[in-house]
């Protein structure tokens, strides 16, 4: 195979070298050398614009937050000053304009506690809108309409505003320029009642200077930090993706183990009942298979179907609390004994209701002996007020009970059991669910109970495959 000789570089390019493969940009790998330059500049500009917009948005948000913090700090200081005034003055002194003989004492107290550097005007307002004190004596006793901020302070909430001064109301302050105007309620008594309002004018230049310096620091930090932040975020993203991938795999395995343990626990609870009541051995398993088949026919899937399986496995768990003399009695139960037996749905509910993952299952267990016409137990629920899963159990539980032998009676034939279920549609059972159950029977998926003439293991296996 002949190798093509590399031509020497053209005149004027002496000393230049073509970039080797490792030096090529990402775009050159993606688009090829010819399109690399066409895409490198737009992509770079796009990244810069996005970064600039992000920096602006973040710094603006932080700056706005810092501005509000600075204003709130000034308001908190004014509220502390109002509390000091309330401590040093009586209710009578706060309800009428200060008299000339008392002005000097009050003015000294205000200047000592309230008028710090930056505060250019202090006023005390009565609820009627009269100035009862001002560091400008000529304002004392003057009345003005109650404005929005003063009204808010009189209602018990501090109000503040950074705005230009009103020429009529604030003629004395106009020469100071823009000020931060704060209205703070002064409360006395128990419960506290607003008796006056402290108004302070703070030179907004002090607040603005703090905000401006903070804003500059934020912008400088953002310009320096954003490139580094992008690199850190990219590295964190790659690291996080790897960790999340491992955690998802671990969680999947753990969830599967928990699900298997959960199912095994429920099956063990059902098996515990079989150990107590040999006459109903296998009943829970058969009910579970039949109930699951009906639920799938109704469109149940995923967690809904799992809840049906789990509820079926332990639907009679309350019978564990029934005395042996009643549970294993070979003959018919007396009325009193039947009342005890009828408690098993409620007992099962009480056993499982406080287990978080079994809350829905417990409610189904509680309702599986309710009747569609409201004549069931323990609560006499009616129609769709009965959980759907419990309405399913009512049918399949009755079918398996009729087709299983007991010491005090023989097993009913499959045909007789189906006829009885059809007869009770609309009274004992949900008629729509009876229709679905009959369709399963027509498809050969309703099995005969073991030991009955004509029972077929293949029929039960077919149902197990469906379930």
The residues, any chain, with a CB within 8 Å of residue 71's CB and separated by 6 or more, are 160, 162, 180, 207
pLDDT computed for residue 430 by the predictor? 93
Dist. CA 18–CA 4, nearest whole Å: 17
Burial group, residue 273, by CB count within 10 angstroms (0-12, 13-18, 19+): buried
The label of the residue with tokens 């006395």 reads 188
Q: Contact at 8 Å (CB) between 171 and 67?
A: no
The residues, any chain, with a CB within 8 Å of residue 204's CB and separated by 6 or more, are 162, 177, 178, 179, 180
Closest Cα partner for 286 from 372, 421, 403? Answer: 403
Closest Cα partner for 277 from 237, 327, 231? Answer: 327
pLDDT computed for residue 381 by the predictor? 93
Q: Which two tokens stand for residue 2?
A: 């002949």
CATH topology of domain 88-208: Beta-Lactamase (3.30.450)
Which architecture does CATH list for 277-466?
Orthogonal Bundle (1.10)
- Sorted by where each begins, the domain ranges of the chain are 88-208, 277-466
pLDDT computed for residue 434 by the predictor? 93
pLDDT computed for residue 421 by the predictor? 92
Closest Cα partner for 227 from 58, 41, 52? Answer: 52
pLDDT computed for residue 7 by the predictor? 43
pLDDT computed for residue 383 by the predictor? 92
pLDDT computed for residue 13 by the predictor? 45
Q: Which two tokens stand for residue 349?
A: 């509910």
The residues, any chain, with a CB within 8 Å of residue 81's CB and separated by 6 or more, are 113, 114, 184, 198, 200
**DSSP bridge pairs for 180:** 162, 202
Per-residue pLDDT of the chain (467 residues; tens, 9 = 90+): 333 334 444 444 444 444 444 444 444 444 444 444 444 556 656 666 776 677 777 777 777 777 777 777 778 888 888 888 888 888 888 888 988 888 888 888 888 877 777 787 888 999 888 998 888 888 888 989 888 888 998 998 988 887 654 544 444 444 445 678 889 998 888 888 898 998 888 776 666 676 677 777 777 776 776 677 667 656 766 777 678 778 878 887 887 787 777 677 777 776 666 666 555 557 777 888 888 888 888 888 878 888 888 887 788 888 888 888 887 777 788 888 889 888 989 988 888 888 777 777 888 889 989 999 999 999 999 999 999 989 998 999 889 888 876 656 677 888 888 999 999 999 999 999 999 999 888 887 776 444 444 444 444 344 334 33
The residues, any chain, with a CB within 8 Å of residue 60's CB and separated by 6 or more, are none
Dist. CA 298–CA 292, nearest whole Å: 10
Q: Which two tokens stand for residue 63?
A: 């700056």
């Amino acid at each position: 195979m002949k190798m093509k000789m590399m031509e020497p570089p053209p005149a004027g390019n002496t000393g230049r070298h073509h970039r080797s493969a490792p030096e090529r940009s990402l775009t050159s790998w993606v688009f090829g050398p010819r399109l690399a330059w066409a895409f490198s500049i737009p992509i770079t500009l796009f990244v810069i614009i996005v970064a600039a917009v992000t920096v602006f948005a973040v710094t603006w948000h932080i700056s706005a937050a810092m501005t509000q913090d600075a204003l709130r700090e000034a308001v908190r200081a004014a509220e502390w000053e109002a509390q000091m005034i309330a401590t040093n003055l009586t209710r009578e002194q706060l309800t009428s304009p200060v008299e000339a003989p008392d002005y000097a004492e009050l003015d000294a107290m205000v200047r000592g506690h309230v008028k710090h550097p930056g505060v250019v005007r202090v006023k005390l307002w009565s609820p009627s809108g009269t100035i009862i004190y001002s560091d400008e004596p000529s304002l004392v006793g003057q009345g003005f309409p109650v404005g929005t901020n003063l009204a808010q302070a009189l209602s018990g909430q501090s109000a503040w505003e950074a705005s230009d001064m009103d020429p009529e109301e604030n003629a004395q302050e106009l020469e100071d320029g823009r000020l931060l105007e704060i209205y703070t309620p002064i409360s006395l008594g128990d419960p506290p009642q607003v008796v006056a309002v402290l108004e302070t004018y703070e030179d907004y230049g002090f607040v603005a200077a703090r905000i401006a310096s903070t804003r500059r620091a934020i912008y400088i930090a953002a310009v320096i930090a954003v490139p580094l932040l992008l690199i850190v975020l990219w590295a964190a993203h790659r690291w996080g993706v790897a960790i999340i991938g491992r955690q998802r795999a671990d969680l999947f395995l753990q969830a599967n183990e928990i699900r298997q343990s959960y199912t095994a626990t429920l099956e063990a609870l059902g098996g515990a009942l079989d150990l107590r009541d040999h006459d109903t051995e296998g009943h829970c398993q058969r009910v579970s298979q039949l109930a699951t088949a009906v639920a799938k026919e109704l469109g149940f899937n995923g967690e809904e179907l799992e809840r049906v399986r789990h509820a079926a496995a332990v639907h009679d768990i309350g019978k564990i609390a029934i005395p042996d003399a009643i549970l294993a009695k070979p003959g018919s139960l007396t009325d009193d004994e039947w009342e005890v037996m009828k408690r098993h749905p409620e007992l099962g509910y009480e056993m499982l209701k406080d287990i978080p993952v079994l809350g829905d299952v417990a409610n189904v267990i509680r309702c599986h002996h309710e009747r569609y016409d409201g004549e069931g137990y323990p609560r006499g629920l009616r129609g769709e007020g009965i959980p759907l899963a419990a309405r399913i159990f009512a049918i399949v539980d009755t079918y398996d009970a009729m087709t299983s032998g007991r010491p005090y009676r023989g097993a009913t034939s499959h045909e007789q059991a189906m006829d009885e279920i059809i007869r009770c549609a609309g009274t004992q059972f949900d008629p729509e669910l009876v229709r679905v159950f009959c369709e399963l029977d027509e498809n050969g998926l309703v099995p005969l109970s073991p030991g009955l003439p004509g029972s077929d293991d293949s029929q039960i296996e077919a149902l197990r495959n469906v379930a």
